[in-house]
Each structure stands twice: as C-alpha cells, then as structure tokens.
Amino acid sequence: MINVELKGGVIQQFEENITPAQIAKSISMGLYKNVCAALIDGKVCDLRTELTADCKVELLTFDNDEGKQAFWHTTSHILAQAVKRLYPEAKLAIGPSIDEGFYYDFDVEKPFDSEDLLKIEAEMKKIVKSGIEISRFEKAPQDALDYLNEIAEPYKVELASEHAGKGEPISFYKQAEFVDLCAGPHLMSVAPVKAFKLTNCTGAYWRGDSKNQQLCRVYGISFPKASMLEEYITRREEALKRDHNKLGRELELFTTVDYIGQGLPIMLPKGARIIQLLQRWVEDLEQKNGWQLTKTPFMAKSDLYKISGHWDHYQDGMFILGDPDNDDEVYALRPMTCPFQYQAFLNRGRSYRDLPMRLNETSTLFRNEASGEMHGLIRVRQFTISEGHLMCTPEQLEGEFEHCLSLAITCLKTLGLYEDVSYRFSQWDPNDREKYIGTEEEWNNVQGMMGKILDDLGIDYKIGIGEAAFYGPKLDIQIKNVFGKEDTLITIQIDPMIAEKFGMEYVDRDGVKKHPFIIHRTSIGCYERTLALLIEKYAGAFPLWLAPVQVKLLPIADRHHDRVFEIAKELEDMGMRVEVDDRNEKIGYKIREAQVQKIPYMVIIGDKDIENDTVSIRHRKDGDLGSMSLNEFKDMMREEIDTKAIK
C-alpha cells in the first residue's frame, strides 16, 4: 500500500501502481469524467501514470490551467485525426496546446481554406460523438523510429530521432486508428470535448525556420460545455473590436508595408507622438530614480558578442552583417544593449564607492524573430526598449532589485496596466546545459538568492523552467493581449557571470578586487508592445496625457472660425495637442467624427459662446459637460494631465 495526499491534505491508502484516473473514479464518476490531468508531487502528469511510492496528488480539471492545457492538447489530436481521415496524404508535424486553445501543423499539398475547416470540424464532431477511448503506449527508441518510418511521418521521425539518443522509451497516444508521437498528457477519452471551433488557418515554417518547409497551421479552441464556447465567441468578437492590429490602423497610429518587411512597422504621426510621450516620461522618471543616460552604437563587431556569450547562445536571433566564415570583420545589429553599456563601467577603475552604478538607455534593438511569431506591434524585428543595467555589490543586490521592481510597478500603475500583469520566476533548465553558461552550483546559488528576494518582497509568482536568460534567472512581468496570448512586458534579471567575462571589477572596502553583480532591467519594456497593449486596454481611447490629439475644436458656422483659431492658439501655447475641424459640415457630424477618432475633448463654439466668452465642452465618454470659461477648461485639463488621470 502507498499513502497518497489528496486535496485538503487528506491522506488515503491505495494499492501500489494505482493511477490518478483510478483515484478519481474511486472518489466519484463525476470527477472521473471531468479530470484532465494530475499534479504528482508538483509535476504535471498523465492520468495513466502509475503511482509506486508515497506522494501528493492533485486532480486537475478544466478549471485548472494545467487541466486546460491537457484538454486542448487532446483536442489537437482530435483535429489531427480528422485531417488524416479527410486528407490521408497530410503529414503531421506538431500540435501543442497554447495560452488559449491549440494548433496543429500539417504538411499538405494545398493550404486549408474556410470550407476545408468546416469539413474538418464536422469530422471532429463525429470523432467526439463516438467517444473513443485514448490509450498510451511506449516503444524502444529504434522501434519507434522504425514505426514512424513505416507510416511515413517524416516530421515525427525527426522529433523521435532527437530523443532516441537518450535511450529512453518514446511515448505514443492512440485513439482508434489514429496514433501520434506525443509526451502528453491527454484525457482518458475524446468524449469530454463537447464544444470546439477552428478559429484560423495560417502558414508556419517547420520549427520556425524560414529555410524549412512551410506548413499549414490550424488554430482552434475547445470547451467541456457549449455555453462556454458561446461565451468565448462573444469575448472574441469584443476582442476583435479592440485588436491593436485593426484599431491601430483605423486610428492611423501605425502601418506596415510588404516591401519594407515583416515585423518592421511604420509609426505614423499619431503613434509616433504617443511613443515620444512615453519615452520622455520614462526617461525623466528614470533620471529622478538615479539612473544615468547612455547612448551606444546600433551595431558592433562579432568580437563583442563573443565575449558576452551572445555569439554562441543567441546568434540565431541576430542580424549578421558579413560572412562569419570568410570575412575578417563581421558585424551584427545589437539584440540588446548590455555588452555596450558595460563599457561605461569599464571606462576607468571603479571602487565600491561608485556602486551602485545605474545606466539606462532608450535602446533601438534588432532581433531576427521567426515569421510565424510576429504579430502587429507585439512582436517585431526592430523595436525600442527602456533598457538599463545596474552594477552593484552583493550587499546592495536585494535593495537595488526592489528599486527596479518599484520603478516598473510605478510605470504599470500610471498606465493602468498593473492589474493585468502576473509574475514568472524564469529559471534555467538543468537538462539543457548547452543553452546556458555557468555551472550548476552557480545557477543554484543565484536562483536561491533571487528566490529569497522575491519571497522577501512578497511576489506571487509562477516558475518557468527553461525561461531564464543564458546568463542568469529573471523575473518576467507577463501580460496577455485581448486574444489571451501571453507575452513578457518587463524583465528584471540577476546576472552573476558576465562581469567576469568582461573583466569588470571594483575595489571593495577591504582593498580586494571583486566582480559586481549585474541587474538587467526594463522599466516599461518595449515601447511598441506597450503601445499595442494600451490600444487594446483603452480601445484606442487613450488617457488625456497620452492622447495624440487632446482637443478637437468644432466651430458651428464659418463666422465662428476666428474665435476658434484664437482658442486653438491659446491651447497650443500651453502645450496642448489641438486640431480644428473647420469643414463645412453639420456640427452633429463633426462630433460623431471626433468620437470615432477617440479624441478626449471637443470644444464647440457657437454664437452664445462668443457672446458669453465661454466654451461648450463635450467629453468622449461623459458627453456634454456644459459651458465654462476657457480658463476653467484649461485648469481642468492641466489637472487631468498632471495627475495622469485615466478617464
């Protein structure tokens, strides 16, 4: 018998080799029908996993994030089974769950269109209705390769070959005639997948490399209840209205041009103005918090990146200028600023009195993102970031980390994004040693230090294994776009290793030379990504201090033009961003146009306003605010801007 600790700390005894699925069934059939996966001693496992020793088990349903992932992963297999039934020549690539839903990549002669997706959905419904049980089995590495070659699945052969060298059994999942190479976990049958929809179909290169075959990627979503799918569709329709890719173009904030290139947006005047306002505000805020501004080159010789380790660990993400195999000098556009800013520290000898040294820069960076990963302003190939690097002593580390986090939180709260973020403690993966520099002892030490700092600060975080930078762990401040896709907005990283590579030293109080700790941080992250999130957060109706046009002046008739342009001049002189709509149109039409453009305030001037020396004010949200003096309106605007109020 083994002791199993269940929810609420209840300990029950079971026969050895019992599975989480059997435990669920012993509790109730309702739980058995709803359980999706299990946490065994904190690790997500398949429901078929046999328990051989005392352990803690949490049964996961669709209400748990890990349960959703297993549910969606199972649905991706239902999708693949339907495709293989309808298009037997299709080759299977990968089909993971994602932040919201799932996708599966297929190598097909012709990409699927909307009619194909409807056929596939219909076949998926037949599969679910049949209630097929799902089973798991393993094969020895060579047997797995032989099997996959026999059924002519070349992409699966490539994946299995990578695992074969470890000598471990390779797992498969089977549902009726369909078999797929997969690590799992999966549901016990297809029956719980009551509602689903295939949402999109795009191209995606195999393994994200444009040199490889382009595949057909089918996205979808699924739920255990039809009502949940209906709610999702409603939310998605609302999300489409807020999608920055759509709204940002309609409001003329940015555009893209095919012959310039993917991931290289053009910021139009209004969008450029918002980013300028953000940059000026952040740079001023950083200066008040003791950061010193630097300005460094956009490119460097490969020698610099070889010292830092980026050449060995990040070269695939860099734009290389020259031929590394034949040219004497090869350059690369910078993917980050850290190795450049270190030169400011190295400019002369340093002592503990120089620390902490806080260096910041509004940095334009270049990263060779895969084409399938880019999305509007959220993920691009050229972007600008509020980057900073801080050199400090071990004793200063916790206080400086807290200082960096406090600055980031101030930015998030001011922008109204703080309630939307979550924290991830990104750690190294000890099973992928080639991805990182340093020893296991060094990683355990620095991760222990960072964990203590986060716990001391009371940060509620999730752990992301394998998400660390190659030189150290990091706190990632995560945020989701309107479609539920999660990205990193802000990072704060502890780096105990790079200083030694660059020979960065300071003389401590005891006269001994030591290497400083380095904190890599952003205070607002990527400005383009931040703009995208602000567009979606406010549906384009930016707070007054950020609005590219703050006031629209609307004369009722031609005879009011002179007064309107006098008011415009006064407002511009106080720094307001103003436009005048002097077209020969009805005032109602002008108001509606200003509303569509999301302009915060409309100033309407007619005969009574001129007679009484007043202005009639409308707010885009609150409507008619009545008449007031121009000075009253100015004071109201100043207060709203100075406090960065969100209205």
Q: Which residues are annotated as a binding site?
A: 338, 389, 520
Report the binding-site residues for Zn(2+).
338, 389, 520
Strands (E), 79-206: 91-92, 97-98, 101-107, 135-139, 170-175, 178-181, 195-205
Q: How long is the chain?
A: 647
Give the torsion through C-alpha atoms of 410, 413, 414, 417, to 10 deg.
Answer: 130
Of 82, 181, 70, which Cα lies nearest the Cα of 136? 181
The residues, ordered by sequence, that sit 6+ positions from 192 with a Cβ below 8 Å of its Cβ are: 33, 34, 36, 71, 224
Which residue is associated with the tokens 């149109």?
A: 585
Q: Residue 611: exposed, middle, or buried by beta-carbon count in 10 A (0-12, 13-18, 19+)?
A: exposed
| Strands 461-465, 421-427: pairing kind | parallel
**477 contacts 489 by C-beta, under 8 angstroms:** yes
> What span, in angstroms and rounded, lies between the C-alpha atoms of 567 and 188?
70
Q: Provide the phi-psi class of 269: left if phi over 0, else alpha when psi is between -120 and 50, else beta.
A: alpha
**164 contacts 144 by C-beta, under 8 angstroms:** yes
H/E segment holding residue 2: strand 2-5
SS3 for 412? helix
> What span, in angstroms and rounded, lies between the C-alpha atoms of 472 and 465?
12
> What span, in angstroms and rounded, lies between the C-alpha atoms of 175 and 190?
8
